[in-house]
């Protein structure tokens, strides 16, 4: 019996660059190897799990205590939040951050690009289960390019004959040496909703530091950001387009323990800086319109 794994390796594998394996929890994983950087991507959720540039520490954080399984969200990597961000606007029974990250995506094409980059394009597989949560025809693709930098593009098409409102995010977990020592630059002066303080609207003064639970939606900003990490002696440069919000999150001790898949002190080694359209920044797509949420991660010396 030909398995999906056999079919993927027959149709898309590239010697020494791309192959597919069965990972924990029965998830199918694309393993990408280039001279400039390596990555692993679960087909479920088109979920980048790891990204490590050549000669560097991993850029993307994946919890050592992450739980893997069909229909389960993964603690770490680049979860795709779509077609809403956070709790569903009216139905609390629907999954937080939408369903995209826990359903199957189909691999549409693989390209071997110049300077040894590899690009994989996935499309969410609609089903009765997804249509029950989202009765609109809005095909969505996730296009992931692996090289010295990691590029992710979430492209939504409104194939309906009426306008559709989408909330989305690339909910990226970055690996840091010690979250208490990092600073985040690029959001100075921006308004944000402080979810740790009742959602109050505040304004950012100076660089962002993390010394307690932080859960903020920075609004009306398409700014590029930078994480400066003195422990790992590096900067992570985050550039984006098609994004009007940036979410900054670290659960700190109590929330991380409650979530149960960070492990002891896991919170110290991670930081989420999410390229998003959330809260008042959700996007309205006219019929036929394509919305592209794009982000790019690259490391540089501090």
Which are the catalytic amino acids? 171, 274
Binder to ligand TA6 among 171, 175, 234, 291 (CB under 6 A)?
A: 171
Binder to ligand TA6 among 215, 226, 229, 281 (CB under 6 A)?
A: 215
Q: What are the strands, taking DSSP E only, across 23-97?
A: 28-33, 37-42, 47-53, 80-81
Please tell me whether residue 249 binds ligand TA6 under the rule CB under 6 A: yes
How far, in Å, CA of 45 to CA of 260, rounded?
Answer: 21
Provide, rounded to whole angstroms, the least separation between the CB of residue 223 and ligand TA6. Answer: 17
Helix (H, G, I), strand (E, B) or coil at 22: strand
How far, in Å, CA of 59 to CA of 259, rounded?
Answer: 22
Task: Name residues whose C-beta falls within 8 Å of residue 126's C-beta, 6 or more positions apart in sequence.
Answer: 137, 139
Please tell me whether residue 86 binds ligand TA6 under the rule CB under 6 A: yes
How far, in Å, CA of 230 to CA of 176, rounded?
Answer: 9
x/- letters, 251..280, toward ligand TA6 (CB under 6 A) = ---------------------x-x------
Binder to ligand TA6 among 47, 88, 97, 244 (CB under 6 A)?
A: 97
Q: Are 299 and 148 in contact (CB under 8 A)?
A: no
Q: Are 262 and 75 in contact (CB under 8 A)?
A: yes
- 51 vs 262 by CB, closer to ligand TA6: 262
Please tell me whether residue 82 binds ligand TA6 under the rule CB under 6 A: no
With CB under 6 A as the rule, give the number of residues binding ligand TA6.
11
- 35 vs 209 by CB, closer to ligand TA6: 209
Q: Which residues bind ligand TA6 (CB under 6 A)?
A: 73, 86, 96-97, 171, 195, 215, 247, 249, 272, 274
């Amino acid at each position: 019996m030909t398995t999906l794994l056999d079919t993927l390796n027959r149709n898309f594998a590239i010697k020494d660059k791309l192959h597919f394996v069965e990972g924990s929890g029965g998830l199918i994983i694309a393993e990408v190897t280039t001279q400039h950087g390596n990555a692993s991507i679960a087909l479920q959720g088109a979920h980048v799990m790891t990204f490590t540039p050549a000669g560097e520490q991993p850029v993307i954080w994946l919890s050592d205590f992450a739980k893997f399984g069909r229909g389960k969200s993964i603690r770490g990597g680049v979860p795709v939040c779509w077609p809403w961000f956070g709790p569903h606007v009216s139905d609390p029974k629907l999954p937080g951050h939408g369903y995209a990250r826990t359903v199957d995506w189909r691999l549409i094409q693989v390209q071997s690009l110049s300077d040894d980059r590899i690009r994989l394009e996935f499309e969410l597989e609609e089903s009765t289960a997804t249509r029950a949560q989202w009765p609109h025809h809005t095909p969505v693709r996730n296009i992931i390019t692996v090289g010295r930098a990691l590029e992710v593009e979430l492209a939504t098409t409104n194939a309906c004959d009426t306008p559709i409102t989408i909330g989305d995010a690339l909910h990226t977990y970055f690996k840091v040496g010690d979250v208490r020592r990092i600073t985040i630059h690029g959001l100075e002066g921006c308004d944000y909703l402080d979810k740790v303080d009742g959602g109050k609207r505040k304004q950012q003064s100076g660089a962002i530091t993390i010394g307690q639970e932080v859960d903020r939606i920075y609004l009306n900003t398409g700014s590029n950001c930078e994480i400066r990490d003195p422990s790992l002696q590096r900067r992570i440069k985050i550039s984006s387009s098609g994004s009007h919000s940036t979410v900054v999150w670290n659960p700190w001790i109590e929330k991380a323990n409650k979530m149960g898949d960070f492990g002891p002190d896991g919170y110290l080694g991670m930081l989420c800086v999410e390229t998003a359209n959330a809260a008042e920044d959700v996007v309205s797509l006219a019929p036929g319109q394509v919305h592209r949420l794009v982000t790019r991660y690259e490391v540089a010396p501090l």
